[in-house]
Amino acid sequence: MRPIEIYDTTLRDGTQGEGISFSLQDKLNIAKRLGEMGIQFIEGGYPLSNEKDTAFFQEVRKLDLGDAKVCAFGMTRRRSMKAADDPGMKALLAAETPVCTMVGKSWDFQATEVLGATLDENLAMIGESVAFLKQQRDVIFDAEHFFDGWKANPDYAMKTLDAAVQGGAGWVVLCDTNGGTLPEEVAMAVAKVKELFKDRSVVVGIHCHNDSELAVANSLAAVDAGADQVQGTINGIGERCGNVDLISVIANLAIKKKGYQVLGGRPLTQLTELSRFVYETANLQWRNGQPFVGQSAFAHKGGMHVHAINKAASTYEHIDPAVVGNERRILVSELSGRSNIIALTSKDNLQDDKELMNRILAEVVRLENQGYQFESAGASFDLLVKRLAGTFTAHFETIKYRIVAGDRDAQHADGFAEAIVKLQVGEEMWFDAAEGHGPVNALDAALRKALQGTYPELAEMRLLDFKVRVVDSSAGTAAHIRVNIESGDSNDSWGTIGVSENIIEASWKALVDAFEYKLHKSDSGA
């Protein structure tokens, strides 16, 4: 088993991604998680670029990161300056990390056009900068644009690596900075570099970007060709199309490829949690379709498949979801069959009641023909099952509602909306009105007003998301409209649905289900 080093740059290259920015505390929290996962190298930032990164390097020393080494990132010294005098070099040392990662130009075109240096000057900048840092630190050399440089001027690209190793770099990392390289090109170049250093103890690494949707394949191809370190980010966050997703790299190396050891052979059961933790910290939506860890990665739709899965999971899953801490989900869908329903109701042990199963299936089919889709409305489905099973108890009866809305006036630049609701709660009749930003918001406010006296637990319920979809769009404004509402409280979230030709009626149905589900939850002490 050849051990492969995992080098995470979520905190540095990852923050180049559009809309990504971490607070100091965010960065410390993520570093802690990365250490717990057994990731060997954590690139914390670019000391010269901002104070937050400087502060990070001070604070991170106080954390227990296990075997992980923190790396400070910087560039070669400036053309017209001694390494010892260069502010960037000084900042790298001031970060007091065990490792410094230094990026330099490997593409002749870049050295001359971007740095304005001669080819020899660029080699001297690399060699002297590494040598200066090496006096006090281990040094990783990131060869920027290595593959473009290797295509344009292979001899010179190799010379830049050689200069770094002569200077004392223990690692040379080949960067596909533009993400435009193909796996076969990566394999060939890595093999040549391995050949160059076959008599010297240098670790060859790979750093890929996903601009051609080949970052994972390129990283694996590099490892097969002899690379012993893979650099990337959690969830593949990063500039443009992102860096390679370390989640997929780790899972493929540990589970699918043969002969490699990652994370010291630790289990990967924390992988899904790590992915979601980074999304939450970055305040990004999870990517449902993300390989291995996405919410849909093991979600099954369509009766034929689900039927097969109940016979043999491996038939439709490439790995056991539990291995990466993920789980299987069965979706009720337009293509659903009895097996979906049985799987979904199994937790209530209703599946043996054949007659009930038939009634549920018939009702789901009837509703799906109207445009309902329960795959993102599990709460409405649960209420449907309760109703058909006779275990549903209404917490309130809706007598009627009214909406009055109109265009902008003195108080309402976005137009006004007012709702009136009449509800029966137990013996009492409630008649309440509320204003809102729009009709749905107004109905939500009026419902709360009418119910909160009886059910104070509704105070902690919030509406998290609101989706509208035209089911039969060809019918224009007379089409059926599907409204999905995602609601949540302190420890849970649930989806409800309503369908109608009338968007207000559809929203009302979804709202009423959302409130009923919350009240059933509290009954069962959830």
User: Which 8-state DSSP code applies to residue 323?
Assistant: G
Q: Name which position in 93, 126, 227, 440 contacts a copy of itself (CB under 8 A).
A: 440
In the shown chain, the binding pattern of residues 57 to 96 toward a copy of itself, with x for contact by CB under 8 A and - for none, equals ------------------x---------------------
Please report whether residue 241 would count as binding a copy of itself according to CB under 8 A: yes
Angstrom CA distances, 77 to 82, 83, 110, stand at 7, 5, 15
Helix or strand run (H / E) with residue 223 = helix 215-224
Please report whether residue 410 would count as binding a copy of itself according to CB under 8 A: no
Smallest distance from a copy of itself to CB 452, Å: 17
d(CA 368, CA 363): 8
Is the CB of 277 or the CB of 466 nearer to a copy of itself? 466
Residues 6+ apart with CB under 8 A from 395: 425, 451, 455, 515, 516, 519, 520
Please report whether residue 424 would count as binding a copy of itself according to CB under 8 A: no
Please report whether residue 438 would count as binding a copy of itself according to CB under 8 A: yes
Please report whether residue 364 would count as binding a copy of itself according to CB under 8 A: no
Q: Name which position in 58, 118, 136, 178 contacts a copy of itself (CB under 8 A).
A: 178
Please report whether residue 117 would count as binding a copy of itself according to CB under 8 A: no
Residue 371 falls in which region: left (phi positive, over 0), alpha (psi -120 to 50) or beta? left
Smallest distance from a copy of itself to CB 437, Å: 4
Is the CB of 409 or the CB of 427 nearer to a copy of itself? 409
* Residues within window 259-288 making contact with a copy of itself, judged by CB under 8 A: 283, 288
The 3-class secondary structure across 339-354, one letter per residue, is HHHHHHHHHHCCCCCH
Nearest residue to 177 (alpha-carbon basis) of 215, 227, 204, 141: 215
User: Which 8-state DSSP code applies to residue 470?
Assistant: E
Are 58 and 51 in contact, with CB atoms under 8 Å apart? no
Residue span binding a copy of itself (CB under 8 A) among the ranges 61-69, 270-278, 330-338, 451-459: 330-338
Smallest distance from a copy of itself to CB 445, Å: 9
Q: Name which position in 362, 404, 429, 459 contacts a copy of itself (CB under 8 A).
A: 404
Q: Name which position in 467, 493, 523, 526 contacts a copy of itself (CB under 8 A).
A: 467
Amino acid letter, residue 163:
A
Burial 442-460 (b: 16+ CB within 10 A, else e): bbbbbbbbbbeeebeebee
Smallest distance from a copy of itself to CB 202, Å: 26
Relative to beta strand 428-436, strand 416-425 is antiparallel
In the shown chain, the binding pattern of residues 379 to 398 toward a copy of itself, with x for contact by CB under 8 A and - for none, equals -------------------x
Is the CB of 217 or the CB of 350 nearer to a copy of itself? 217
Nearest residue to 434 (alpha-carbon basis) of 422, 424, 421: 421
